[in-house]
Chains A and B, each alone.
Chain A
Amino acid sequence: MRPFTFERAKTPADAAAAAARHPDAKFIAGGTNLLDLMKLQIETPAHLIDVNGLGLEKIEATQEGGLRIGALVRNADLAAHHRVRRDYGVLSRALVAGASGQLRNMATTAGNLLQRTRCPYFYDTNQPCNKRLPGSGCGAIGGFSRPHAVIGVSDACIATHPSDMAVAMRVLDATVETINPDGSARKIPIAKLHCLPGDTPHIETVLMPGELITGVTLPKPVGGKHIYHKVRDRSSFAFALVSVAAIVQPDGTGRVALGGVAPKPWRVEEAEAELPRGAKVFTARLLAGARPTPENAFKLRLVERIVASVLAEAKGAQV
């Protein structure tokens, strides 16, 4: 860990302004990912801005009938919130499928969105990784790639985004709200928050330097059956091999987003028209253009089977 300076910001605008003053600064909230990365010197901020005191831990109804979730709402609190459980079940289920109880007590909404990949080559500073050290190469391509992404990848990077929460937010059409160092606010649809790696896998989001997430807004509930199906090698405390967040309406229409398969929560709205035609047709559209490795090609078949199982569950049938 490199030595760093530290300050506690008092308002979101202060925090963003402080970040603008320190080009090497990072915001810290729960710290469940950042601190690990700092110990390994994968992240080496010279300055930390503690945002825990910004008063962003509220969950409020919006005038449109949706929900505004403060950036600092802890994952555990969000999962347990009565409105989330009642109207956005897929989000509550995704949250409790992630991490462990202790981590969910610390991890925040904004931090969860911005957590970094769990690719083991990213974590081992002796190994090449274009995300950690641009231009050094990708260890996972041609190496251990079983947990890696199958779609949205590039020749520079095949890492996944590890979040469960973000997958549910993607299927809920959430909007991310931010504040910039100049005090201006902006709203980013979650679909546009994360970038695909292309030639610049170290650039993971569209956030500008110093831009701070202040909250996430969910639109009015859409009803339907909310399902989050996470598949992994052990029953708990593991990242998804594949996860499926789905909202299925009684008429068979619906929305599906995937975790564990791409550098961002993966959803293809145009493909959803195919949902009533069944898992095979839908999945073929959803994963068109996939570029798996021999080690992770199973994820394509796994997605199709989970989607089939989810659709059956939505109908109330047994698989």
Chain B
Amino acid sequence: MKFDTPAKTNPIDQLKVVGKPVDRIDGPLKTTGTAKYAYEHHDVAPDTAYGYVIGSAIAKGRITSINLNEAKAAPGVLAIVTADNAGKLGKGELNTAKLLGGPEIQHYHQAIGVVVAETFEQARAAAQLVQVKYERAKGSFDLAAAKDSGIKPKPGFGGPPDTSVGNFAGAFASAPVKFEATYTTPDQSHCMMEPHASIAVWKGDKLTVWTSNQMIAWGVRDMAKTLGIPKENVRFISPYIGGGFGGKLFLRADVLLAALGARAAKRPVKVALQRALMMNNTTHRAATIQRIRLGATKEGKLTAIAHESWSGDLPDGGPETAVSQTRQLYAGANRMTAMRLAVLDLTEANAMRAPGEASGMMALEIAMDEMAEKLGLDPIEFRILNDTQVVPDNPAKPPSSDPQSKAPEEKHNPHPPFSQRQLTECFRTGAKRFGWNKRNPTPGKTRDGHWLIGIGVAAAFRNNLVTKSAARVRLDNRGIVTVETDMTDIGTGSYTIIAQTAAEMMGVPLDKVVVRLGDSSFPVSCGSGGQWGGNNSTAGVYAACMKLREAIAQKAGFNASDATFTDGQVRSGNRTITLAEAAGDKGLVAEDFIEYGDLDKQFQQSTFGAHFVEVGVNAATGETRLRRMLAVCAAGRILNPKMARSQVIGAMTMGAGAALMEGLVVDKRHGFFVNHDLATYEVPVHADIPHLEAIFLDETDPTSSPMKAKGVAELGICGVAAAVANAIYNATGIRVRDYPITLDKLLDKLPEMV
């Protein structure tokens, strides 16, 4: 099904099942521990051996020798695979560094081998007997030092590296009110609960991998490419995923080393990356240095906006696209954005929840707060004053925002309208709900015992992406509808919203729908990432269900256009048959996909929100504790308010971590992230998170898909950290532009102790 004109009324609009806050259909499996995660498929290969990954002890250089003698002789060892005996390996399209390093080492904890043994303990003990000698090379590990050597990166997900509209330099120079500041965000790690884990089973030249991966088709493609075997010989199965946050978008070392280990040991092999490897072996969100300049009239109309961002990555990597939202969020006739990319020999930088906007909003939304203060304006009114219904800076994009499409570019509109934009309504609703009028605009004036109290606000913004997604739908003679797609559920609720979609389309209750996900033998979906999963995967199911409705109508001898599907029956005029009868003993199957025209070029599809945060800062110690948080979101049709809320409050929690505690610490001498475990890389615990509220404004977006939905899971993180920072400023009068805002950055400026 091609979606190229705005959606009209369709079966989803009945909202009998879609839009209802139903519980997760996979909830009972998860709460009883019977949903099998990657490492737990004990039934598929009872004689599975265990692999333990060896990570490089240096960041850059060469392996001069590996002595395996002791390890090979250790109890239980079946095989050891290193670059020396792995055979020729390619590299996945979406991998920057090699997943199996050696002799050249590209980053710390790059995998240089896997030891396979009968038990996990034997594999681990033997891995510790492998003796590796290295020759260290000088590397680049310090973004601030490497910044000025940054080059203009190639255009990618975040659009071109540079944009310019009007004359920024002139407008900024002549602006009556000017503001300029530099902000920094640290490297961050996804830290999902379930580590990267895989079980690999070879049958002849065919490989099946039970794994934990957000993008099945990307994984299969890159695995085939890395091993140099046909794609058809690789199957990925990933039904449940214990969190990903972008860390599992790509093929990673666990999959490759399980497969190589299994080939060498001639046994199924399972590999889970040990926790310490998560930070330095896998991908991470890159640190940024961001410079923002704003010029405005005395009345507060922005006339000049500039946002520049520097980040680093391994050679051939990409930038953290921290300037992207600044092209779209606020009006202003004269503007420029620029991204520069330096070479850093840390592990590869890549997508983490809301890549680009999450980091960019951390800076931009403090800058907006600072400028509002300079102008003597309320920060909400300042933002509303500069709201826009068209995109202020829309560079000619690479062909499509569809990451899987190769469609030619249409004619370019420099200022397309937003399909929906309720930013002002988000602020107004939130202000009322949160009690914004109780905020004292003068910082450092509100106190509750030894707590300095502050309230802060920030906009939330994240684009909606449309991308092809396919599904297969089966109907059987019991009236059961089974959906199959390689879509993944990374804790987001995909199972549930897909079931709701199929139930709505086919006119059956939810318990008559079976959803099967995460298997590369199923039709290729959009996968989970970039908050594109919910809208696109359900739209693909919509398309397949439309085809199934036609097949049913045809079988029943009805005209498809006037058949109605309700209560497990199909009706036309005064004739009714049950779906079970229509399916017959052979059942019916339909498969289709959604693909998109250029509605996402005619209209800019984005999601908006407003974050409100109240903090207490301990007047003695500078510890910040969150007291209340609210997000108001406008993100198209909300397919399941319970799942959406869960996504948004989860994202707010992640944003709170980014604001207050999360940051990988770079050892700039030895080139690695020092705090590579969950004891030292701190993420929020329950005690850090107060009452969270998430509200969704009523919205349907007919340009996004037949579902009229948009992404929501990443919107929730964008802007949160800045709202916290702004609340800390309101509480203390201390402006911190360097995340995370830990107490040592406040201490010297807090009120004197008596």
A binds B: yes
Min CB–CB distance A44 → chain B (angstroms): 10
Residues of A within 8 A of B75 (CB): 3
Q: In chain B between 20 and 55, which residues have their CB closer than 8 angstroms to a CB of chain A?
A: none
CB contact under 8 A between A306 and B680, given known A236-B686, A301-B748:
no
A-binding segment of B154-162, B536-544, B662-670: B662-670
Residues of B within 8 A of A121 (CB): 674
CB contact under 8 A between A233 and B680, given known A1-B124, A308-B620:
no
Contact A308 B754 (CB under 8 A): yes
Min CB–CB distance B277 → chain A (angstroms): 12
Contact B743 A118 (CB under 8 A): no
Q: A60 to B354: give the CA distance in the assembly, Å.
A: 57
Q: A257 to B367: give the CA distance in the assembly, Å.
A: 42
Q: Is B661 among interface residues, defined by CB-CB distance under 8 A?
A: yes
Residues of B within 8 A of A84 (CB): none
Q: Is A203 among interface residues, defined by CB-CB distance under 8 A?
A: no
Min CB–CB distance A287 → chain B (angstroms): 15
Contact A2 B619 (CB under 8 A): no
Q: In chain B between 61 and 98, which residues have their CB closer than 8 angstroms to a CB of chain A?
A: 75
- Most B-side CB within 10 Å, residue of A123, A147, A304, A319: A319
Q: A298 to B619: give the CA distance in the assembly, Å.
A: 15
Contact A144 B743 (CB under 8 A): no
Q: Is B744 among interface residues, defined by CB-CB distance under 8 A?
A: yes
Q: In chain B between 660 and 702, which residues have their CB closer than 8 angstroms to a CB of chain A?
A: 660-661, 665, 667, 669-670, 674-677, 679-680, 682, 684-688
Which residue from chain B places its CB closest to the CB of A312 in the assembled complex?
Answer: B754
Min CB–CB distance B128 → chain A (angstroms): 5
Q: A233 to B618: give the CA distance in the assembly, Å.
A: 12
Q: Is A142 among interface residues, defined by CB-CB distance under 8 A?
A: yes
Residues of A within 8 A of B742 (CB): 233
Min CB–CB distance A143 → chain B (angstroms): 5
Q: In chain A between 267 and 286, which residues have their CB closer than 8 angstroms to a CB of chain B?
A: 279
Q: Is A235 among interface residues, defined by CB-CB distance under 8 A?
A: yes
Residues of B within 8 A of A237 (CB): 685
Q: A123 to B57: give the CA distance in the assembly, Å.
A: 13
Min CB–CB distance A278 → chain B (angstroms): 9
Residues of A within 8 A of B619 (CB): 319
Residues of B within 8 A of A308 (CB): 620, 753-754
Which residue from chain A places its CB closest to the CB of B667 in the assembled complex?
Answer: A143
Q: In chain A between 281 and 308, which residues have their CB closer than 8 angstroms to a CB of chain B?
A: 298, 301-302, 304-306, 308
Residues of B within 8 A of A123 (CB): 677
Contact B125 A1 (CB under 8 A): yes
Q: In chain A between 1 and 54, which residues have their CB closer than 8 angstroms to a CB of chain B?
A: 1-3, 39, 41
Which of B125, B669, B676, B747 is in CB contact (< 8 Å) with A305?
B747
Which residue from chain B places its CB closest to the CB of A301 in the assembled complex?
Answer: B747
CB contact under 8 A between A235 and B450, given known A1-B124, A39-B124, A309-B753:
no
Interface string of B390-434 (1 = CB under 8 A from A): 000000000000000000000000000000000000000000000
Q: A298 to B744: give the CA distance in the assembly, Å.
A: 6
Contact B674 A304 (CB under 8 A): no
Contact A234 B670 (CB under 8 A): no
Residues of B within 8 A of A3 (CB): 75, 125
Min CB–CB distance B129 → chain A (angstroms): 10
Q: Is B511 among interface residues, defined by CB-CB distance under 8 A?
A: no
Q: A304 to B754: give the CA distance in the assembly, Å.
A: 11
Contact B128 A41 (CB under 8 A): yes
Contact B747 A144 (CB under 8 A): no
Which residue from chain B places its CB closest to the CB of A39 in the assembled complex?
Answer: B124
Interface string of A231-274 (1 = CB under 8 A from B): 11111111101000000000000000000000000000000000
Which of A2, A238, A301, A318 is in CB contact (< 8 Å) with B450?
A318
Residues of B within 8 A of A184 (CB): none
Residues of A within 8 A of B669 (CB): 142-143
Q: Is A124 among interface residues, defined by CB-CB distance under 8 A?
A: yes
The secondary-structure label for the interface of chain B is loop
Q: Is B625 among interface residues, defined by CB-CB distance under 8 A?
A: yes
Q: Is A63 among interface residues, defined by CB-CB distance under 8 A?
A: no
Residues of B within 8 A of A126 (CB): 57-58
Which residue from chain B places its CB closest to the CB of A100 in the assembled complex?
Answer: B685
Residues of A within 8 A of B743 (CB): 231, 233, 241, 298, 302
Which of A124, A147, A231 is in CB contact (< 8 Å) with B623?
A231
Residues of B within 8 A of A209 (CB): none
Which of B665, B688, B750, B753 is in CB contact (< 8 Å) with A235?
B688
Contact A118 B676 (CB under 8 A): no
Q: Is A127 among interface residues, defined by CB-CB distance under 8 A?
A: yes
Contact B121 A235 (CB under 8 A): no
Which residue from chain B places its CB closest to the CB of A127 in the assembled complex?
Answer: B670
Q: Is B621 among interface residues, defined by CB-CB distance under 8 A?
A: yes
Contact A120 B754 (CB under 8 A): no
Q: Is B170 among interface residues, defined by CB-CB distance under 8 A?
A: no
Which of B128, B747, B754 is in CB contact (< 8 Å) with A302?
B747
Q: Is B557 among interface residues, defined by CB-CB distance under 8 A?
A: no
Min CB–CB distance A28 → chain B (angstroms): 17
Min CB–CB distance B118 → chain A (angstroms): 14
Interface string of A91-121 (1 = CB under 8 A from B): 0000000000000000000000000001011
Q: Is B204 among interface residues, defined by CB-CB distance under 8 A?
A: no
Which residue from chain B places its CB closest to the CB of A313 in the assembled complex?
Answer: B450
Contact A124 B676 (CB under 8 A): yes
Residues of A within 8 A of B435 (CB): none
CB contact under 8 A between A236 and B687, given known A142-B669, A144-B674:
yes
Residues of B within 8 A of A127 (CB): 670
Residues of A within 8 A of B124 (CB): 1, 39
Residues of B within 8 A of A298 (CB): 743-744, 747-748
Contact A144 B450 (CB under 8 A): no
Q: A53 to B723: give the CA distance in the assembly, Å.
A: 54
Which residue from chain A places its CB closest to the CB of B132 in the assembled complex?
Answer: A126
Q: Is B573 among interface residues, defined by CB-CB distance under 8 A?
A: no
Which of B661, B676, B747 is in CB contact (< 8 Å) with A233?
B661
Q: A319 to B620: give the CA distance in the assembly, Å.
A: 7
Residues of B within 8 A of A309 (CB): 450, 620-621, 753
CB contact under 8 A between A118 and B679, given known A301-B747, A308-B754:
yes
Interface string of B589-605 (1 = CB under 8 A from A): 00000000000000000
Interface string of B244-276 (1 = CB under 8 A from A): 000000000000000000000000000000001
Which of A39, A124, A235 is in CB contact (< 8 Å) with B625?
A235
Q: A10 to B728: give the CA distance in the assembly, Å.
A: 57
13 example contacts (A-B, Cβ-Cβ < 8 A) are as follows A120-B675, A120-B677, A126-B57, A126-B58, A146-B744, A236-B685, A236-B686, A241-B743, A302-B744, A305-B753, A308-B753, A309-B450, A319-B619
| New A-B pairs, 7, CB < 8 Å, besides A233-B661, A302-B743 | A1-B124, A142-B669, A234-B688, A235-B688, A304-B753, A308-B753, A309-B753
Binding site for A on B (CB under 8 A): 57-58, 75, 121, 124-125, 128, 276, 449-450, 619-623, 625, 660-661, 665, 667, 669-670, 674-677, 679-680, 682, 684-688, 742-744, 747-748, 750, 753-754
Q: Which 4 A-B pairs have the closest CB atoms?
A: A235-B687, A126-B57, A309-B620, A298-B744
